[in-house]
Amino acid sequence: MSTIKNLSRRSFVKSVGLASGGLILACNTSIFSDNNEEKNNVYFNPNLFVQLNSDGNLILIASRSEMGNGVRTSLTSIIADEMEADWNKVTVKQATGDTKYGDQNTDGSRSVRYLYDTMREMGATAKAMLILAAAKKWQVSPEECSAKNHFIIHSSGKKIAFGDLVTIAKTIKVPTEIKLKPTQNFNYIGKYLRSVDAEDYVNGTAIFGLDKRIDNMKFVAIARCPVTFGAVKSFDKSAALKITGVEDVIEIPRIEKPFGSLGGVAVIATNTWAAFKGKEALKITWNYGENKAYNSDEYMKQITQNVHKQGKVVKDHGNVNNAFKNAYKTTESTFQLPHLVHAPMEVPNAVAWVQEDSCEVWAPTQAPQTTRKDIVSYLQTTEDKVTVNVTFLGGGFGRKSKPDYVLEAVIVSQKIKAPVQVVWTREDDIKHSYYHTTSAQYLKGAIDEKGNVVGWLHRFALPSIVSTFQSGVDYAAGFEISSASNIPFDIDNMKVEVGKAPAHVRIGWLRSVINIPHGFSVNVFADELAYLAKKDPLEFRLNLIGKDRIEDTKNPIKYNTARLKNVLRIAAKNAQWGKELPEGHAYGLAVQHSFYTYVASIVEVSLENEKVKVHNIYTAIDCGTVINKNTVIAQMEGAAVFGMSLAYYGKITAKNGAIEQNNYHDYKMIRMNNAPKVHVEIVDSTENPTGVGEPGVPVIAPAIVNALFKITGKRYYNLPLSEYNLV
């Protein structure tokens, strides 16, 4: 059990933004065994807080970032459930970026996965203390008391509100043994809860980073070199300074860190529009640097060559060469996928105010602690001097775990000695991101007379995310390999190789990361093998996954092929796989295990005037114990659209080192008229909760391509489909 403490009388609760007065419990998710109370006072470093006030209001501190993932709602509901609290009396406060909250990075779809048990213990502890308080007040045995809907009730029928017990509860010693409630008694966990923030969103009162205002704040736009890591040679600011509202133009340095600023020329103005206009009016000559040679078309040819020859072997079991030699039939295919960009609806932005001896920022960030660390190092100060406030995030998708834009704001604020808000234009966002990798992949497969797959070779070359963190990285890293080498197929002869692919732009993770390219090639190629074997793709795939077994991976959670097959069967059942579809319609399927979660989707596609139309998507997900069904379903609906956007339009290209796309007209998104009907089924499970933010994405594009094959007889190995004039 985690260490939970009663902090009601400690003054430092103010430092986390809770007013003193109520019953305050805190706990540390890392366990330490030292029982010496005095010593704990020094070392106890809590990272979860819950406060009950005498008016009955329950305040929770959310340590993770809200970006549409529903995390504030899910984490809160876990505590409230164990505590038997009334959902309507719960409010959530956003934590600042601080190591005292433990790991705050909101990515990798793991917030709930990491915090579930601790949150439950916290709620159960609070409940136990309220029961003890009531027993004390009534002079009865605690066994005769129970909690329900924000009241403690005695077996005689008398009851008292949680809030009225605060004064006594504050004096109660935190029980060391607590009992969690049986899962079948959950009130909120596993049910459909509305977002705690829904009203603020619809009233326009939710404060996103872009909405933060402080007195005397300047608005800043920054011109960055079109080529990654190029530098300012010289600039002429005279035209910019003539624009009404522009106050100053300064050069800012590049900070050579993974999330350091790119450097450039900053326009300081009294409003955003003047800053944007001033930026356009700048005349800058650049030193483009070596990435000027980057042409993504050329690059694709190179990495494609690299997968058409032997690469570095990263997995080899059985004997693939023999299998190919003795096979009944073989087939091979090459896949090419472009860079992608997150383009969250809210552009990168941050407010910073660097003063003599302190720095405070307000930013939509998925990684408040990294942000703080980078600021501390840039300002050469200490952590206690830097506060990172996390605002609402208008979408993140991985972009906002890379706080280069926050550092920019800090640099400008420090230089001009005023509070500033740095705002990226949409064009800046598209042109200066951390791009999802581009990839070339080659797959070769072999079947025997019965249609069983007997050989599988997968070669791929893609610039690695690790290249953003260290130089000289020209090959995919371990975590970029496992989604190809750990595929849950029961094949005797399997080989995986990686080819060379140096990076020429900043490579970063984007919603579902490496599972996009691997999920695409593996799911499309498996479908191709089904046709080679003249088998129904569903039956074929279930066979290919093979018998029920736990695949031994290096991860703490092993994957279970029975669960994988189960989601595929459920999706098929809901789609009524095999039924007669309207003329010209076809189903395609894909299934993927990522972020410890199992997802299968079946899409119904047709061609209307030679353009793709996705009618229905049947998704089944097994993510272990579900906290909030509403969130899971919403994430699957959203992932379907995200997956369709990348399948239809997603393509970032570079010419002479500069990104060619600009805004939503040439980096397009699925809109209402193309939105599918998404039907989601969640598998009932008591397994550990696993991620839901990302795993719905990778199945969509391959399922569409597989359906298109049925309609057109053609395989579309490259994305996006706009390249084939299909959208």
Partner 1 sequence: MVTLYINGKKHTIDADPEMPLLWAIRDIIGLTGTKYGCGKGLCGSCKVLLDGSPVQSCILPISSVEGKQITTIEGSSKNLDLLKEAWVELNVPQCGFCQPGQLIAAAALLDTNDTPTDEDINEAMVGNICRCGTYQRIKNAIHKTVELKKQR
Binding partner of 43, given ligand FES, partner 1, none, CB within 5-8 angstroms per partner class: none
CA distance 297 to 561: 39
Task: Tell whether residue 30 is a contact of partner 1 (CB under 8 A).
Answer: no
Binding partner of 50, given partner 1, ligand FES, none, CB within 5-8 angstroms per partner class: none
Q: Binding residue for partner 1 (CB under 8 A) from 117, 144, 197, 332?
A: 197
Closest CA to 337 of 213, 493, 453, 463: 463
Binding partner of 271, given partner 1, ligand FES, none, CB within 5-8 angstroms per partner class: partner 1
CA distance 76 to 72: 6
Q: Binding residue for ligand FES (CB under 6 A) from 163, 395, 499, 624?
A: 395
Task: Tell whether residue 205 is a contact of partner 1 (CB under 8 A).
Answer: yes
Helices 515-532 and 537-545 pack at an angle, to 10 degrees, of 110
Binding partner of 207, given partner 1, ligand FES, none, CB within 5-8 angstroms per partner class: partner 1
Q: By C-beta, is 67 or 255 nearer to partner 1?
A: 67
Task: Tell whether residue 683 is a contact of partner 1 (CB under 8 A).
Answer: no
Q: By C-beta, is 284 or 634 nearer to partner 1?
A: 634
Contact yes or no for 123/80 (Cβ under 8 A): yes
Those residues with Cβ within 8 angstroms of residue 240's Cβ, 6 or more apart along the chain or in another chain: 246, 249, 267, 278, 279, 281, 282
Stretch of residues binding partner 1 (CB under 8 A), selected from 176-184, 223-231, 329-337, 420-428: 420-428
CA distance 232 to 213: 30
Q: Is 608 helix (H, G, I), strand (E, B) or coil?
A: strand
Task: Tell whether residue 345 is a contact of ligand FES (CB under 6 A).
Answer: yes
Q: By C-beta, is 123 or 395 nearer to ligand FES?
A: 395
Residue 346 beta carbon to ligand FES: minimum distance, rounded to whole angstroms: 8
CA distance 56 to 389: 27
Radius of gyration of the CA atoms of the chain, in A: 27
Residue 189 beta carbon to partner 1: minimum distance, rounded to whole angstroms: 17
Q: Binding residue for partner 1 (CB under 8 A) from 82, 103, 164, 211?
A: 211
Contact yes or no for 495/474 (Cβ under 8 A): no
* CA 366 vs CA 6, 84, 142, 297, 345: distances in Å: 29, 30, 43, 32, 15
Task: Tell whether residue 68 is a contact of ligand FES (CB under 6 A).
Answer: yes
Q: By C-beta, is 271 or 326 nearer to ligand FES?
A: 271
Binding partner of 105, given partner 1, ligand FES, none, CB within 5-8 angstroms per partner class: none
Mask: binding to partner 1, 64-103, rule CB under 8 A, as x and -?
--xxxxx---------------------------------
Q: By C-beta, is 89 or 459 nearer to partner 1?
A: 89
Cross-strand pairs, 249: 267
Task: Tell whether residue 445 is a contact of ligand FES (CB under 6 A).
Answer: no
How far the first Cα of the chain sits from its last, in Å, is 54
Biggest CA-to-CA distance, the chain:
83
Q: By C-beta, is 123 or 676 nearer to partner 1?
A: 676
Residue 643 beta carbon to partner 1: minimum distance, rounded to whole angstroms: 9
Q: By C-beta, is 273 or 724 nearer to ligand FES?
A: 273
CA distance 425 to 434: 16
Q: Binding residue for partner 1 (CB under 8 A) from 288, 520, 577, 642?
A: 642
Residue 309 beta carbon to partner 1: minimum distance, rounded to whole angstroms: 39
Q: Phi first, then psi: what are they for 157, rounded to 5°?
A: 110, -15
Binding partner of 211, given ligand FES, partner 1, none, CB within 5-8 angstroms per partner class: partner 1
Task: Tell whether residue 675 is a contact of ligand FES (CB under 6 A).
Answer: no
CA distance 654 to 658: 5
Task: Tell whether residue 198 is a contact of partner 1 (CB under 8 A).
Answer: yes
Q: Is 311 helix (H, G, I), strand (E, B) or coil?
A: coil
Binding partner of 412, given ligand FES, partner 1, none, CB within 5-8 angstroms per partner class: none
Q: Binding residue for partner 1 (CB under 8 A) from 162, 208, 294, 540?
A: 208
Complete edge-to-edge strand list for the sheet that includes strand 151-154: 145-148, 151-154, 159-161
Q: By C-beta, is 109 or 441 nearer to partner 1?
A: 109
CA distance 324 to 312: 19
Q: Binding residue for partner 1 (CB under 8 A) from 425, 619, 690, 718?
A: 425
Q: How many residues bind partner 1 (CB under 8 A)?
A: 66
Residue 252 beta carbon to partner 1: minimum distance, rounded to whole angstroms: 22
Show the 3-state SS of 56-85. Answer: CCEEEEECCCCCCCCHHHHHHHHHHHHHCC
Q: How many residues bind ligand FES (CB under 6 A)?
A: 3
Cα-to-chain-centroid distance, residue 657 = 28
**Please, which of residues 653-682 interact with partner 1 by CB under 8 A?**
663-665, 669-673, 675-678
Residue 630 beta carbon to partner 1: minimum distance, rounded to whole angstroms: 5
CA distance 152 to 328: 72
Q: Binding residue for partner 1 (CB under 8 A) from 244, 285, 287, 656?
A: 244
Size of the chain in residues: 727
* CA 414 vs CA 77, 245, 408, 704: distances in Å: 41, 21, 10, 50
Q: Which ranges of 478-583 does DSSP label H, i.e. alpha helix? A: 482-485, 515-532, 537-545, 561-575
Closest CA to 636 of 700, 586, 557, 576: 700
Q: By C-beta, is 64 or 518 nearer to ligand FES?
A: 64
**Please, which of residues 119-158 interact with partner 1 by CB under 8 A?**
none
Which structure tokens are listed for 98?
A: 């601080």
Task: Tell whether residue 629 is a contact of partner 1 (CB under 8 A).
Answer: no
Residue 340 beta carbon to ligand FES: minimum distance, rounded to whole angstroms: 17
CA distance 613 to 605: 6
Which structure tokens are listed for 453?
A: 């797959």
Residue 638 beta carbon to ligand FES: minimum distance, rounded to whole angstroms: 8
Q: What is the 8-class DSSP label of residue 204? A: T
Task: Tell whether residue 638 is a contact of partner 1 (CB under 8 A).
Answer: yes
Contact yes or no for 366/67 (Cβ under 8 A): yes
Q: Phi first, then psi: what are they for 182, rounded to 5°?
A: -65, 140
Q: By C-beta, is 148 or 194 nearer to partner 1?
A: 194
Task: Tell whether residue 326 is a contact of partner 1 (CB under 8 A).
Answer: no
Task: Tell whether residue 209 is a contact of ligand FES (CB under 6 A).
Answer: no
The residues that touch partner 1, with contacts defined as CB under 8 A, are: 66-70, 194-195, 197-208, 210-211, 213, 219, 244-245, 270-274, 276, 343-347, 392-397, 423, 425-426, 630, 634-635, 637-642, 663-665, 669-673, 675-678
The residues that touch ligand FES, with contacts defined as CB under 6 A, are: 68, 345, 395
